[in-house]
């Protein structure tokens, strides 16, 4: 009996979250804002990738909502580049949800452009929650190991684009690219997988072109 009750509560939580996410997404679309949910484990280079992508999106206004359990280093880094960025600290929660994004977005003076939402560093929970995004960008790395799509399938299944970061470190780690790609394609037949290095800047032109192409569909 107790088990049945727990499932009902979780369904209600997901339903409420999805309802607010749909409204938030509509509001972004009406404002000409293309929203990207940036997901990945801690330290994969979510912020480092945003720095490269935003730097390359010349002529397009970028906004960032930064999600972290504690601290605001990433927000301050982006603000120092002149980006309008705000911080959400969840104080323990392992993912962002749509009411948090609805509230944070209300604090930004949103004009047409791109809104990047850096989710909490976590390869599990963020994939389960829509937050008003148009697309999900998953960042994985060669340093995490090539088995991640097999062990954390939902994040790879839900992604609209997958960045394989830290490719500058390939000579120093045992990364099996073929095995990784096979695992990705078992979950997701369509998302482009783009090899990047936030250190060298390699690969981000393709990511930026993909974002620009998707923005046209708004
Ligand atoms: N060698 C190398 N280091 C990288 C690359 N991308 C990021 N790093 C380093 O990895 C560390 C984590 O990068 P962040 O961009 O802070 O990662 P994150 O995913 O935003 O981390 P959290 O917000 O804490 O989850 C930093 O020391 C970066 O300099 C890369 O392509 N190559
Ligand atoms: Mg970060």
Radius of gyration of the chain (CA): 17
Rounded distance between C-alpha atoms, residue 27 and residue 92, angstroms: 28
High-pLDDT (> 70) share of the chain, %: 96
Question: Which CATH number is 15-215's, of 3.90.420.10, 3.40.50.300, 3.40.50.720, 3.90.1150.10?
Answer: 3.40.50.300
In this model, does residue 11 exceed pLDDT 90?
no
In this model, does residue 24 exceed pLDDT 90?
yes
Cα–Cα separations (whole angstroms), residue 59 to 22, 72, 112: 28, 27, 11
In this model, does residue 205 exceed pLDDT 70?
yes
Which residues are CB-contacts of 179 (< 8 A; sequence separation ≥ 6)?
146, 147
Q: Is the CB–ligand 1 distance for residue 144 below 6 Å?
A: no
Note the pLDDT tens digit of each residue in 171-191: 999 999 999 999 999 999 999
Mean pLDDT of all residues in 44-68 = 97
Task: Report residues near ion ligand 2: CB below 5 Å.
Answer: 46-47, 74
Q: What is the pLDDT of residue 97?
A: 97
Q: Is the CB–ligand 1 distance for residue 168 below 6 Å?
A: yes
If you search the block for the tokens 């599990």, which residue do you land on?
124
Mean per-residue pLDDT over the chain, rounded: 96
Q: Which of 48, 200, 203 gets mutated to test ligand 1 (max ligand atoms within 8 A of its CB)? A: 48
pLDDT band with cut points at 50, 70 and 90 for residue 7? low
Q: CA 108, 109, 115: angle at the middle one, nearest 5?
A: 60
For residue 70, which phi and psi values (nearest 5 degrees)? -140, 165
Q: What per-residue string of b and e applies to 29-65 under the rule 16 or more CB within 10 Å gives b?
A: eeeebbbbbbbbbeebbbbbbbbbbbeebeeebbbbb
In this model, does residue 8 exceed pLDDT 60?
yes
Rounded distance between C-alpha atoms, residue 38 and residue 42, angstroms: 12
If you search the block for the tokens 């099996």, which residue do you land on?
176
Note the pLDDT tens digit of each residue in 73-116: 999 999 999 999 999 999 999 999 999 999 999 999 899 999 99
Q: What is the pLDDT of residue 3?
A: 66
More confident residue, 208 or 7: 208
Rounded distance between C-alpha atoms, residue 125 and residue 110, angstroms: 27
| pTM for the model | 0.95
User: Residue 101 C-alpha to ligand 2 middle, in angstroms?
Assistant: 17
Q: Strand 33-39 relative to strand 113-118: parallel, antiparallel, unpaired?
A: parallel
Rounded distance between C-alpha atoms, residue 123 and residue 140, angstroms: 9
pLDDT band with cut points at 50, 70 and 90 for residue 6? low
Q: What is the pLDDT of residue 13?
A: 79
């Amino acid at each position: 009996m107790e088990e049945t009750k727990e499932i009902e509560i979780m369904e209600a939580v997901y339903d409420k979250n999805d309802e607010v996410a749909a409204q938030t997404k509509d509001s972004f679309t009406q404002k000409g804002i293309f929203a990207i949910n940036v997901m990945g484990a801690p330290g994969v280079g979510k912020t480092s990738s945003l720095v490269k992508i935003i730097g390359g999106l010349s002529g397009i206004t970028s906004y960032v909502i930064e999600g972290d359990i504690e601290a605001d280093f990433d927000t301050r880094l982006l603000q120092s580049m002149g980006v309008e960025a705000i911080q959400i600290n969840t104080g323990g929660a392992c993912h962002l949800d749509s009411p948090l994004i609805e509230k944070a977005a209300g604090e930004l003076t949103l004009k047409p452009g791109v809104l990047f939402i850096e989710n909490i560093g976590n390869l599990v929970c963020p994939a389960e929650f829509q937050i008003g995004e148009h697309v999900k960008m998953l960042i994985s790395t060669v340093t995490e190991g090539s088995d991640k799509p097999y062990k954390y399938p939902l994040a790879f299944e839900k992604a609209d684009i997958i960045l394989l970061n830290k490719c500058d470190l390939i000579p120093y780690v045992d990364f099996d690219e073929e095995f990784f790609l096979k695992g990705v394609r078992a979950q997701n037949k369509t998302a482009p997988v783009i090899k990047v290095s936030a250190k060298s800047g390699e690969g981000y032109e393709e990511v930026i072109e993909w974002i620009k192409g998707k923005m046209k569909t708004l």
